[in-house]
Structures are given as C-alpha cells and as structure tokens.
C-alpha cells in the first residue's frame, strides 16, 4: 500500500508567495514528469514533518491527493531550511506503473555481532556505503536492502554484486560495468597501539673519542 499525502493546487508563485506560505506553516511544491504539465501545489508543514522520519517516504510511491485528484509520485528533491526544522520546498515526479523508476534504497546491515570476524578474530566492520540506487518497476520498490554480515571474517569484503536483491530489482551501478561494483562493507583487524618497552631500550653507545678523553684526564 502506498503512502498518502494531501495537497492543494497553488496559483500564486514567486518568492513572496512562497514566503507567505511558510509563514502560514505550509510549503510550496511541484509535481512534474510523465505526459502532463508541471503542477504547483501547497503542502502542510505538519504533514511533511510527520513523514520525514519514515525512510520509506523517500523511496516508496506516494499517493498524492491534490484537491481530490490522486497522483502516484516519488519524492525527487527536498530543500531544508539551513538551520530551522522545516522544509522549504519539495519536488515530486509522476510514476507510471508500467515504466521502471530509479530510487535510492537504504541498506540495513544485520549479523555484525555474530560474525566470526567480530566474535573470534577481533575484527571491525566498516560500512562503506549506506544506500544504493536501484532500477525496478514501481510495484517492486523494496522498503530497504538487507546486507548480511554474519559470515564475515577479517579480510572479507562485500561488493554491490554480492547483495541479495529482490526479484525484479537491479542495482543501477552494475548495469554500467564491473568497474562500478563498489565495496559495500569490509572487515579489517582492529588496530592496536604498540607500547614501547622501556626496559628493552638499549643504553646509548659511548660517543667516539670519549675513552681517550677519560684517559687524558687521569
């Protein structure tokens, strides 16, 4: 089931109109793409703030109700205020159920604590990337991609090509060749600081000519 969001059509445009909307706890947005013209809309700030913590909001198809007319869309851009907890503007792109879309999906790493590298080899796992761009039909968009780390040993590396992808979903980067098979996670040995043993430090050798000076002084 797609997420739902309500909006209203917006006729007034420009910086002044957008400023008035924000003062009224609303925000301007636009819908574009497909075979229709772009449409300017208004969203309520409180509705957007309620959706932002949900990671599926950024990748799942949204049912956008604009004055009683539904549009299936994806979030394409969110402009945040530089220091306030509010959104300044949003872009939505229309989706066609029969056409593939490109979406960014979060990676969920599981099994790190039980992996042999962490449990018995004093290893540390590095999460190199935390999201991946996918290509699929809208109905196949996953909520997230799970990355299983439970079998990793020190020295092991997981690449994009190692990810277990749902049916009908492809990693976009891999369609551009093996050179784009980036590292997702790696296991390396924990670095241990080596303390110098003061007792093992040899006394400095006598400087050249010191014995002759001693004999002369006698």
The DSSP line for 26-61 is EEEEEEE-TTSPPEEEEEEHHHHHHHTT-GGGGTSP
Q: Place 73 in a pLDDT band, splitting at 50, 70 and 90.
A: very high
Q: Which residue has the higher pLDDT, 125 or 202?
A: 125
* Sequence-distant contacts of 48-55: CB under 8 A, at least 24 apart: 48/87, 48/90, 49/85, 49/86, 49/87, 51/3, 51/5, 52/87, 54/3, 55/106, 55/143, 55/144
Domains and CATH numbers, the chain: 3-94 (2.40.240.10), 101-189 (2.170.120.20)
- Give residue 218's pLDDT: 44
**Averaged pLDDT for residues 62-85:** 93
Cβ atoms of 104 and 141 within 8 Å: the answer is: no
| 101-110 β-sheet, strand order | 145-148, 101-110, 131-136, 170-171
- Degrees (nearest 5) of the Cα angle 50, 54, 58? 105
Q: What is the pLDDT of residues 146-177, one digit of tens each?
A: 999 999 999 999 999 999 999 999 999 999 99
Predicted structure pTM score: 0.78
Provide the residue count of the chain: 218
Mean pLDDT of 89-94: 96
| Alpha helices (H) along the chain | 15-23, 45-51, 116-119, 210-217
Checking if the pLDDT of 132 tops 70, the result is yes
Instruction: Report the pLDDT averaged over residues 42-53.
Output: 94
What are the beta bridge partners of residue 6? 65
Residue pLDDT, tens place only, 94-125: 999 999 999 999 999 999 999 999 999 999 99
- What does the block give as tokens for 144? 């997230």
In the predicted structure, residue 188 carries a pLDDT above the cut 50: yes
């Amino acid at each position: 089931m797609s997420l739902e969001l309500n909006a209203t059509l917006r006729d007034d445009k420009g910086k002044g109109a957008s400023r008035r909307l924000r003062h009224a706890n609303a925000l301007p947005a636009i819908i574009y793409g497909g075979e229709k013209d772009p449409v300017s809309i208004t969203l309520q700030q409180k509705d957007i703030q309620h959706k932002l913590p949900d990671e599926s909001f950024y990748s799942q198809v949204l049912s956008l109700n604009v004055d009683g007319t539904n549009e299936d869309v994806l979030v394409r851009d969110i402009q945040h205020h530089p220091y306030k907890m509010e959104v300044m503007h949003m872009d939505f792109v229309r989706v066609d159920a029969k056409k593939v879309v490109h979406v960014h999906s979060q990676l969920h790493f599981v099994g790190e604590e039980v992996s042999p590298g962490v449990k018995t080899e004093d290893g540390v796992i590095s999460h190199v990337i935390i999201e991946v761009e996918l290509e699929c039909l809208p109905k196949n968009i996953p909520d997230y991609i799970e990355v299983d780390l439970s079998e990793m040993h020190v020295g092991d590396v997981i690449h994009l090509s190692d990810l277990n992808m749902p049916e009908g979903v492809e990693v976009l980067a891999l369609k551009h060749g093996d050179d784009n098979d980036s590292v997702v996670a790696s296991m390396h040995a924990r670095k241990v600081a080596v303390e110098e043993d003061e007792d093992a430090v040899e006394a400095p050798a006598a400087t050249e000519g010191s014995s002759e000076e001693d004999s002369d002084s006698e």
